[in-house]
Structure 1
Amino acid sequence: MTDISDENGCWKSHRSGPLSGVTVLDVTRVVAGPFCSMLLADLGATVIKVENPDEPDYARTFPPFVSSDEEQLSAFFAQFNRNKLGITLNLKSQEGKDLLMKLVGNVDILVENFRPGTMEKLGLGFDTLSTVNKRLVYTAISGFGRTGPNSSKPAYDNTGQAAGGLWSMNGYADRPPVRVGTIIGDLSASLYAAIGTIAALREAERTGKGQVVDVSQQDSILTLTENAVVRYTTQKEVASPLGNDHPFVSPYGQFACKDGYVFFGGYTDKFWAITCAMFGEPDKAIDPELDTMEKRFEPTTARTKVKPLLERWFSAFTKAELEDMAGDKVPLSAIKTIAEVVEDPHVAARNMIVNVPVAGKLIGMFGLPIKLSGREEEPNDKAPAPGEHNDLVFAKLAGITSEEVARLKKAGAI
């Protein structure tokens, strides 16, 4: 494995972690791909972000922006590209292609999120790249995957949500379906890609043979549909929007309180009895209409008996008061705004809001949710400027002098 170091043998941005010593070429843009490689970087890999010198990652133009006297930078871009190095390569030029081949010979992983066939058209597909590195793990993220009749279709996050079935299930029964309120197609594909990449890397280390990790947004979204697939395959029942209700347990959803809403999931007999006692009406736990999970889930009972009872109880208290009452006895959580989440002491205790340098300022972003007992988390490095590390990366991985780098830049190859 190749590590990148300065003249003293230590790369100033090198990060510790279980993937320390692993080198990744990140030929991706926007989120489906950059998030995958960011996770690898957070876990210690040396990730080199590759951008076209004339058309850098257009996520750099996404708000919000952070400004200084010298520059204005995208915090959105920084959130998904922290802890990486940055180089530029024009993969349409022959010299740019040749240079990528040299880099590939000295890395462990390449991640790309082009439409299937794009890298092959450039003469840079896995079969070609593996001729210079038999151990290469080639991770490809796309809308529909590298095989199947839809593989060449263009796709965005919403494509995954639509084609994977999740969109059709979200929202309310009396209204049109609603997309999930985040780019869950991009994010879920990146998560699966990170898992697949690490698995393939383990295989390459064991056997000396690399492979393609093929991850589709549609496939990824399909796995997030919970019980919808088996409901259809066993009963031909098509999942449809249920609002905040659950398809087979109750009470389990959103309930109004004095200053907002809470999630309450006390559907088991145990939690139901604790809740009834907590609100001073223990007899409701043995009410013959409400004394079993099955009875409480029956649609009419859930709508006319259970929900009104909970709303009466909850309406007298604030979110914070209800959380204090529930403690660790029953599953009840405030439905928090992002502001409340960012300021949550528990989130802080988990180090889930981390500071990342952007335009000379420290900006709070979500942290790494993977907590390893054998590793102490370290400060985050900024996202790279386009081509910021050209001289160092090309010198260390491709054996190119600074004079040659200057020539290649003038020629438009980098």
Structure 2
Amino acid sequence: MITDEIRDTLAALGNFDATPGSLAGVVVVDVTRVVAGPYCSMILADLGATVIKVEHPDDPDYTRTFPPMLDREGDEPMSGFFAQYNRNKLGFTANLKHPEGAALLERLVASADVLVENFRPGTMDKLGIGYSRLREVNPRLVYAALSGYGQSGPYRKRPAYDNSAQATGGLWSMNGAADGPPTRVGTIIGDLAASLYGVIGVLAALRHAESTGKGQLVDISQQDSVLTLTENAVVAYTTEGTIPKPLGNAHPFVRPYELFPCKDGFVFFGGYTDKFWKISCEIFGDAEDHAGNPDLHAMADRFDAVVYRERVKPMVERWFQGRTKKELEELAGDLVPLSAVKDIGEVVEDPQIAARDMVVETTYPGYGSLRTFGSPVKLDVTPARTSGRAPDKGAHTAEILRDLLGFESDEIDALRDAGTI
């Protein structure tokens, strides 16, 4: 385990809050790139872990070149994309294809609690630093491997991206306009879901390691992760043989529960329960909308596809057509499930988002400030750290070698001259 003194020293090097979080004292070696992996380790860093991001000295995480970019005179631009998923980390470089670089990773692992990697299965084994080797170096190591299809099964060695997971996990086939072609979910949901499950797996394995002294492999598949996001699709198929198709903004059986147009855009309205339907009629309609339609009082009747299409939906559309998003939210937002459909600019400036500290600002000297999303995990005693900077490539290599691994200055210089770091 890392000592409090070294943890505070490394935290100061990274210029992030050294206040102990829930995972204070936990050391994570992060050999991931892009999003599935970096986001997982970033969450652990936000929660207080000391995360050491290991990059190849000549081939670093290529999201360092992803837009949007922040400019600084006389220097390389900095990727806001990279910064968003790598805050609160320490930068370390090592050529893991070089024997001495692999040896450095082993020495890091010997002092660590967790390693996170997102290579294709077998890659780390080829380098001689896979789980079978690293658990010999550190028997209590939690080794988290995030990949497209997991460490087992016939697809395990296939290359994969987020879209691969959306395609093979079922989500792509369900999403899109009704009677139209399937449409990918408009974000990298496979990467993000795998990262979140990775955090859950790491925390569970850490607790086991702390109580038994034995680490384990945390095997996370993007395909598996996406499958769990398909709501009732699995049970609909296994019980009834139904294969869900794209429905646009509609729900497969709950009505009204979808997108509706209004004067200046769209709102989500989900007043499908008997309670919310009655309140909605009283707020938006006239006396006849509820009292004059007793055959619409029961939720099951409103769920009928024909009744909904011919009577319920036109009624709701009439309610909303002359009102703005703001007017509708002010009128009914506290009483029924009604929310404006907001673009990201509206979301970033939303008062609820501000109240929850969900957009945070970090200053990067010379570049200015960068606003990114905060942490949805709210802990009242050990709050997440969200304003730390992402590291420059290898920014803390020398300090980690010296303060954590005990290298002398001449040894560090030799490693640098050899291209190992």
TM-score by length of 1: 0.97
| 1:341 aligned onto 2:343 | no
Deviation at 1:281, TM superposition (A): 2.3
2:48 and 2:25 map into 1 onto residues whose CA distance is 8
1:173 and 1:139 map into 2 onto residues whose CA distance is 39
Alignment match, 2:333: 327
Deviation at 1:136, TM superposition (A): 0.3
Q: Deviations over 1:179-205 (max 9, x none)?
A: 000000000000000010011011000
Q: State the one-letter code of the partner of 2:412.
A: V
Alignment match, 2:107: 102
Bigger mean CA deviation after superposition, 294-303 or 26-35: 294-303
| 2:175 equivalent among 148, 151, 170 | 170
Q: Among the aligned pairs, what percent are the same residue?
A: 58
Cα distance change, pair 32–4 in 1 and its aligned pair in 2 (3 A): farther
2:414 and 2:11 map into 1 onto residues whose CA distance is 25
| 2:62 equivalent among 58, 63, 67 | 58
2:163 and 2:7 map into 1 onto residues whose CA distance is 46
Alignment match, 1:301: 307
Q: State the one-letter code of the partner of 1:333.
A: S
Deviation at 1:301, TM superposition (A): 1.3
Alignment match, 1:283: 288
| Alignment coverage as a number of residue pairs | 414
| 2:404 equivalent among 394, 397, 414 | 397
| 1:365 equivalent among 367, 372, 394 | 372
Cα distance change, pair 7–129 in 1 and its aligned pair in 2 (3 A): closer
| 1:2 aligned onto 2:2 | yes
Bigger mean CA deviation after superposition, 124-133 or 247-256: 124-133
- Computed over aligned residues only, the root mean square deviation of the Cα atoms, in angstroms, reads 1.5
Q: State the one-letter code of the partner of 1:403.
A: D
| 1:199 aligned onto 2:204 | yes
Contact 1:258 / 1:314 at 8 angstroms: preserved in 2?
A: yes
Alignment match, 1:89: 94
2:131 and 2:405 map into 1 onto residues whose CA distance is 19
Deviation at 1:131, TM superposition (A): 1.0
Cα distance change, pair 398–216 in 1 and its aligned pair in 2 (3 A): same
Contact 1:3 / 1:46 at 8 angstroms: preserved in 2?
A: no
2:180 and 2:222 map into 1 onto residues whose CA distance is 26
2:391 and 2:185 map into 1 onto residues whose CA distance is 31
Contact 2:333 / 2:339 at 8 angstroms: preserved in 1?
A: no
SS of the residue corresponding to residue 130 of structure 1 reads helix
Listed as ranges, the gaps of 5+ residues in structure 1 are none
Deviation at 1:285, TM superposition (A): 2.8
Deviation at 1:376, TM superposition (A): 4.4
Alignment match, 1:151: 156
| 1:136 aligned onto 2:156 | no
| 2:45 equivalent among 14, 30, 41 | 41
| 1:125 aligned onto 2:123 | no
1:263 and 1:16 map into 2 onto residues whose CA distance is 41
| 1:24 equivalent among 28, 50, 66 | 28
Contact 2:87 / 2:386 at 8 angstroms: preserved in 1?
A: no
Deviation at 1:380, TM superposition (A): 1.5
Contact 2:6 / 2:404 at 8 angstroms: preserved in 1?
A: no
Deviation at 1:307, TM superposition (A): 1.1
Deviation at 1:363, TM superposition (A): 1.0
Q: Deviations over 1:288-320 (max 9, x none)?
A: 442211111111111111111111110111000
Q: Deviations over 1:333-384 (max 9, x none)?
A: 0000000000001100000000123453111100000001213455612110
1:8 and 1:61 map into 2 onto residues whose CA distance is 30
Cα distance change, pair 164–378 in 1 and its aligned pair in 2 (3 A): closer
Contact 1:244 / 1:253 at 8 angstroms: preserved in 2?
A: yes
2:335 and 2:287 map into 1 onto residues whose CA distance is 15
Listed as ranges, the gaps of 5+ residues in structure 2 are none
SS of the residue corresponding to residue 24 of structure 1 reads strand
Bigger mean CA deviation after superposition, 12-21 or 231-240: 12-21
1:230 and 1:38 map into 2 onto residues whose CA distance is 34
1:132 and 1:32 map into 2 onto residues whose CA distance is 25
1:151 and 1:206 map into 2 onto residues whose CA distance is 31
Q: Deviations over 1:63-83 (max 9, x none)?
A: 000111143100000000011
Q: State the one-letter code of the partner of 2:418.
A: A
Contact 1:5 / 1:11 at 8 angstroms: preserved in 2?
A: no
Alignment match, 1:318: 324
Q: Deviations over 1:193-238 (max 9, x none)?
A: 0010011011000100000000000000000000000000000000
TM-score by length of 2: 0.95
2:114 and 2:407 map into 1 onto residues whose CA distance is 21
Contact 2:263 / 2:323 at 8 angstroms: preserved in 1?
A: yes
2:229 and 2:29 map into 1 onto residues whose CA distance is 29
2:8 and 2:282 map into 1 onto residues whose CA distance is 67
Bigger mean CA deviation after superposition, 12-21 or 128-137: 12-21
Q: Deviations over 1:149-168 (max 9, x none)?
A: 10000000000100100000
Alignment match, 1:183: 188
Cα distance change, pair 379–111 in 1 and its aligned pair in 2 (3 A): closer
SS of the residue corresponding to residue 310 of structure 2 reads helix
